[in-house]
Structure 1
Amino acid sequence: MELLVLFAACLLISGVAIRLGSALAARLGILDRPGGHKQHEAVTPFAGGFGLIAVLLSASLLGDGFFGGTVLAPVPGLILGAVLIFVTGLADDIWHLGFKPRFLVQAMVALSMVFIGGVELRSLGELLPGVMVDLGWLAVPVTVFATIGLINAVNMIDGIDGLSGSVSLFSLALTAIVAHYGDHGAYVFFLVALMGGVAGFLYFNLRYPGNRRARVFLGDNGSMLLGFLFAWLFIDLSQGERAAMTPVTALWLFALPLMDTVGVMLRRFWLGKSPFRPDRHHFHHLFVRAGFRVYDIVAVAVLMQLVFALIGVCGLLLGVPDYLMFWLFLGVFAGYLLVILRPWRLVPGLRRLGRWLGLPSVDVCGIFVGYLRREKSPETVALISAGLGNAHDYRLGVYEMNKCGTDGRNVYVVVEIPANGDEHLIGRIQRDALRLKKRLAGHQGVEVRLFMCRSATSDPSAGAMAGGDRGPDRRDVRSSLIYSVERGHFMVDDGTGCEVSVPPPCL
């Protein structure tokens, strides 16, 4: 109960801080504008870090009472590093700092973590049978390298609405379980507080009914802060006699961001490009190119991260040797690289996977019904119109194919529904298609599927086609419009809510 109250309180603190931070960001110009490799279409404030820093400062002010009577000893070093990295992130959001000054500050923060907080990566564990890899004098530089890597891993996965926050939330939850089993009560409370802060951010950043797009972005101020906190947690919880986990477990707890970051940088090296130059080849960008909705991409990413984290936690709790878990991780990473570095094969495969899973493409713009006999089309149109009701604005077109060899079934129906990028509406269109399929189940030979608008990402050519097929349902010179029915606020109302643009033929 105490943890639940703590989570709710931190969620509220984060939400209020982000509200205030958004207003401040708008005044100071801390805004993300569309363009370049970015995909959003509206100016959005970088205010996610305000919620996280507010939760962190509130936790430090509450002191021992906040941490359930236990003392989180190195809090001063944690707060100092967090504030410094947050301010640097804000500066980057405003002035777009180059990677050199960012790396310099990140290295300074890592050094403060070592020399003020006493948090240092001294051992990598048993990476080979019977061989403990103790770092010795390399401990400090490896700690700096690991910290910089984690900070930038969070930053690089922050590419679409809800992704970095959702993946981080589940990683924090699994880390809290590990801390609990390791008897680190202070860190359990600290992790729950951070989960509340991230959940408060997701309220503004995640897409859900009533929130078509992110109202706030994490920004460098938030992503760098979150990455620093992960670095602190993973290193401190994996070192010393009271270690709650091994360094290899930490790899699994943060596997997806690490794999994505290293994979993208290796690809840039391979192509002779700067590893620090942003592009659109992260794993989530490949899912976007395959036509996945943002909701579905976030769900897939969370599922992948959850599976990876559970493998790490189960290996830890079952006592699986470190070296086995480490080489298993390298094997999984090699497989990930093999797939992700071949986008020309991956993207078509993802499209097929999406269809197999029944996920609607972001390019969906209606419903296709075919193939009908001409004399049956009025009856079918009536069933379709009744099924759609007043839920959508739509244009229903009945087309006749101008070719032979169709066994008399040469008429098809296309219901065009202007989704305008509304992913929730796309989900409703899919449900409508399923209902229509049931309504028309008694009509032998009738096919119902989603209708897709062709785009540069889904098809190199222009026009429209039915999803999953390039068959005769395509509207081109081989098809003629017989008649159409339109409904919507943009039509002239004749008292019925419908208008027949071209009178249906007398059949």
Structure 2
Amino acid sequence: MNFLIYSTLLFICSFLVCNYLTPKIRTLMLSKNLAAEPNNRSSHDVPIPNLGGIAFFVVLMISFYFIASTEYLGLDAKNDVYDPSNIIIALIPGLTILFIVGLKDDILVIAPLSKLLAQTIAAVLFVYHYSKTINTLYGFMGIEDLNPILAGAIAVFILVAVINAINLIDGIDGLAASASIIMFAAFGFAFYVINHIFLFSVCIVMIGTLLAYLRFNLSSTQKIFMGDTGSMILGFMLGVMAISFLALDPSDIARLPIRGENLPIVTGAILIIPFFDTVRVFMIRIVKKKNPFKPDRSHIHHIIIDKFNISHRKASFVLGVSNFLVIILISFLAITTSNWILLTFFILLLILLTLFFFIINKSSWFLRIKLRNIRKQRTAAQQSNSEA
């Protein structure tokens, strides 16, 4: 089978299955009065179904059946085996745990520490069974080989961190899904270049699924949220991609144009929006002596919406484009730039981003813009009421 045809079919089928399941899930939730009630941080004023992540889980499970082997596809996969690392068996326990815990949290709400424990168990199970390990950093900051125990601990940390990072940016319509599409596309391109067809296929499945979900998430009449069920599955799969990318063999890295020592920085660039926001928010909450897991409106997407008075769609678009541009910039520099120079540049970029959001959050100029916009909205509402 032609690889282009195979990839296209995989994308279309994932899109269609999610597109079929999502409205069914929404209708069922509304009929059972299971929906997210609006609160002081919500942009919606009516209950919205929040179990869109069920479709993610179902599509992934179905896709594993069809992409487990290339024997019947006639594709030239790495080592003639489609899943050489037996990654599907490593994925299923963790995905199932996160699906069950996310489902319970979306319906009943569970304690943050309980969720963190479940995420850690899911991560440990995956790392323990996955045959790929981050056993070397190829000279990143002068570090070569890693102790196996340390390598496993780093992999577990990455998984748990990415799960929570995606969960935290899922605060406005479209952001988690659109940012994840960009991140899966970046990882998918890299795996395509080195001929890791299974990992590339999973990225295609996730992109198709998320595009179908976005159609409903951004709808004004058929809106649905992915909930913790969806965000944890997304975070888990992105964490898996990050670990697989960092654990590439020397022969695989030789196929990539970037230098091996720059892999961690490129990975950081791919995940920059969720990680930057998570680290920034956690530091702010800790400095203010607040629970770092307690929700508030200190996220970068909330600041952009509040200060520039723009819609969720526009904020998600701005952050998505920013993520894409950072990936392109860092990946281009990673081809020839030495590790320490690129690391310094990346750190300076993070500092500039931090200063940018600090300035617009504290600036009185932006406060005046916000107040002026509020007055305009009130005036328009009063005129509308008087005309009615």
What range describes the TM-score normalised by the shorter chain of this pair?
Answer: 0.7 to 0.9
**Structure 2: distance between partners of 1:108 and 1:162:** 29
Partner SS, residue 32 of structure 1: coil
Q: 1:272 to 1:453 in 2, by over 3 A?
A: closer
**Structure 2: distance between partners of 1:152 and 1:332:** 23
Q: CA deviation at 1:454?
A: 0.9
* Larger strand proportion of the pair: 1
1:139 is matched with which residue?
151
Question: What aligned pairs does 1:348-363 form with structure 2 within 5 A after superposition?
Answer: 348-349=365-366
2:333 is matched with which residue?
315
1:341 is matched with which residue?
358
2:288 is matched with which residue?
271
Partner SS, residue 44 of structure 1: coil
Aligned counterpart in structure 1 of residue 111 of structure 2, from 74, 83, 98: 98
2:256 is matched with which residue?
none
Shifted more, 61-70 versus 179-188: the winner is 61-70
Aligned counterpart in structure 2 of residue 327 of structure 1, from 331, 334, 344: 344
**Structure 1: distance between partners of 2:364 and 2:275:** 21
Structure 2 residue 366 is the aligned partner of structure 1 residue 454: no
Q: CA deviation at 1:339?
A: 2.6
1:161 is matched with which residue?
173
Question: What aligned pairs does 1:73-88 form with structure 2 within 5 A after superposition?
Answer: 73-88=86-101
**Structure 2: distance between partners of 1:248 and 1:311:** 11
Gaps of at least 5 residues in structure 2 are: 254-259
Structure 2 residue 210 is the aligned partner of structure 1 residue 198: yes
Q: CA deviation at 1:346?
A: 5.2
Check the 8 A contact 1:34/1:42 in 2, yes or no: yes
Structure 2 residue 252 is the aligned partner of structure 1 residue 239: no
Q: 1:42 to 1:266 in 2, by over 3 A?
A: same
Aligned counterpart in structure 2 of residue 254 of structure 1, from 265, 271, 296: 271
Shifted more, 14-23 versus 158-167: the winner is 14-23
Check the 8 A contact 1:14/1:50 in 2, yes or no: no
- Output the amino acid matched with 1:86: F
Q: 1:94 to 1:334 in 2, by over 3 A?
A: same
| Structure (1 or 2) with the larger CA radius of gyration | 1
Aligned counterpart in structure 2 of residue 294 of structure 1, from 303, 307, 312: 312
Q: 1:487 to 1:102 in 2, by over 3 A?
A: closer
Partner SS, residue 69 of structure 2: helix
Aligned counterpart in structure 2 of residue 109 of structure 1, from 118, 122, 125: 122
**Structure 1: distance between partners of 2:210 and 2:364:** 31
Partner SS, residue 41 of structure 2: coil
Check the 8 A contact 2:137/2:143 in 1, yes or no: no
* Larger helix proportion of the pair: 2
1:355 is matched with which residue?
none
- Output the amino acid matched with 1:265: F
In the comparison of the two structures, how many residue pairs are matched?
364
Q: Which has the higher contact order (CA 8 A, sep 6+)?
A: 2
Partner SS, residue 314 of structure 2: helix
Q: Structure 1, residues 452-484: CA drift from partner, whole Å, max 9, x if none?
A: 5517xx8xxx7579xxxxxxxxx9xxxxxxxxx
Q: CA deviation at 1:33?
A: 0.9
- Output the amino acid matched with 1:329: F
TM-score of the aligned structures, taking structure 1 as reference length = 0.66
Check the 8 A contact 2:90/2:130 in 1, yes or no: yes
1:56 is matched with which residue?
60
**Structure 1: distance between partners of 2:358 and 2:24:** 42
Question: What aligned pairs does 1:399-438 form with structure 2 within 5 A after superposition?
Answer: none
Check the 8 A contact 2:50/2:224 in 1, yes or no: yes
Q: CA deviation at 1:19?
A: 2.3
Q: 1:76 to 1:296 in 2, by over 3 A?
A: same
Shifted more, 307-316 versus 266-275: the winner is 307-316
1:403 is matched with which residue?
none
2:20 is matched with which residue?
16
Check the 8 A contact 1:113/1:120 in 2, yes or no: no
Check the 8 A contact 2:282/2:292 in 1, yes or no: yes
Q: CA deviation at 1:64?
A: 1.9
Check the 8 A contact 2:360/2:366 in 1, yes or no: no
1:212 is matched with which residue?
220
Shifted more, 337-346 versus 83-92: the winner is 337-346
Shifted more, 189-198 versus 44-53: the winner is 44-53
Check the 8 A contact 2:140/2:264 in 1, yes or no: no
Check the 8 A contact 1:268/1:274 in 2, yes or no: yes
Shifted more, 75-84 versus 60-69: the winner is 60-69
Gaps of at least 5 residues in structure 1 are: 353-360, 364-450, 466-474, 476-485, 492-507
Identity %: 23
Check the 8 A contact 1:287/1:347 in 2, yes or no: no
**Structure 2: distance between partners of 1:289 and 1:301:** 15
Check the 8 A contact 1:16/1:51 in 2, yes or no: no
| Pairwise CA RMSD | 3.0
Check the 8 A contact 1:127/1:133 in 2, yes or no: no
Shifted more, 56-65 versus 19-28: the winner is 19-28
Q: CA deviation at 1:189?
A: 1.8
Q: 1:268 to 1:179 in 2, by over 3 A?
A: same
